[in-house]
Amino acid sequence: MNKPNYIHLILTWCLALIFLLIGFLVMAPTEHVAAAATNQSNITDTCQNCHATQVATWSSSKHASGNVNCLVCHKLGSGEGQHPQIKYTIEDEATTCQVCHTEVAGENIAGQLALSKHGQVGLKCTTCHEPHSQGPVLSPGSKIVCENCHKEQMQDMVGSTHAAAGLNCINCHMGTSRSHTLVVAGSTCGDCHQNLHKANRIVSSGIKIEPLATPMDVSAIGIEPTETPVPTPAGGIHLPSVLLLLGGLLIGSIGSWAIFAKEPGQPTK
């Protein structure tokens, strides 16, 4: 009877496991969001029965034209029964917005937001963008989304020359590239002010300008000397020099009178 070839069996099982693993990876579901299939487009008709406002704003958005419907961002929760007994979830932005908007026109929007002050304090896409219309989220009385939080800066902007020229926050803080870092680039000013080194309009108009401190002026200021504590002498009597002089004169006068003074004698007739 032939002995079983254990090496052959081990290799066979290893190859079988490798093929099973490859098949699982190919067929496994992914978290990436894709545009909804055509046969799912009628889901909006069902949602519209209760969510007419949201469907109306979505209908005129770029998501609607790109066949990105409700099921892309909302998933039916687990449980028995039908909606609304089973709630639809609001998926995380990492599996919704950032799947498509990580790269927009060659710009890493998600990366820019993470680097910005907004990203560092935890703001997300839907903080500024309404998810159904993708338009700006405006608080009552606000004309631009920045005014929702930066009210003092907006008040200063209202009376500025930039506002009089029709500019707003986006013109400088996002520029033509719509950078989501919101850092004002050096080239931003040059888009409007063609000759920055010949900025003499205020001087030509006769307005008096108070000179400001320049780096050269600041560097010319010497370092103020620090006070050195005077050491306290050990022992003895410490009196002002004037008192010591007066005391010496007084003692000397008394000594001189005691030594050299004479009896005045009898008065003359």
Domain ranges of the chain: 38-91, 98-204
User: What is the chain's percent helix, strand, coil content, to nearest 5?
Assistant: 50, 5, 50
Distance CA(133)–CA(62), nearest Å, equals: 8
List, for residues 81-122, the tens digit of each pLDDT value. 888 888 888 888 888 888 887 764 456 777 788 888 888 888
pLDDT band for position 151 (50/70/90)? confident
pTM, rounded to two decimals: 0.51
- Which residue type sits at 36? A
Q: Mean pLDDT highest for which of 22-36, 41-55, 253-267?
A: 41-55
pLDDT in tens, 48-82: 889 998 999 998 898 988 888 898 889 888 888 88
Within a 13 Å sphere around the CA of 196, how many CA atoms are in the beta-carbon half? 7
More confident residue, 219 or 154: 154
Task: Answer whether residue 8 shows pLDDT above 50.
Answer: yes
Residue 265, token pair as written in the block: 């004698």
Residues 113-137 have pLDDT tens digits of 888 888 888 888 888 888 899 888 8
Question: What does the buried/exposed string (b/e) look like for 46-81 if buried means 16 or more CB atoms within 10 Å of the residue's CB?
Answer: ebbeeeeebbebbeebebbeeebbbbbbbeeeeeee
Residue 185, φ and ψ in degrees, nearest 5: -80, 155
The CA distance from 107 to 104, in Å, is 5
The Cα angle at residue 111 between residues 170 and 136, in degrees rounded to 5? 35
pLDDT value, residue 262 = 55
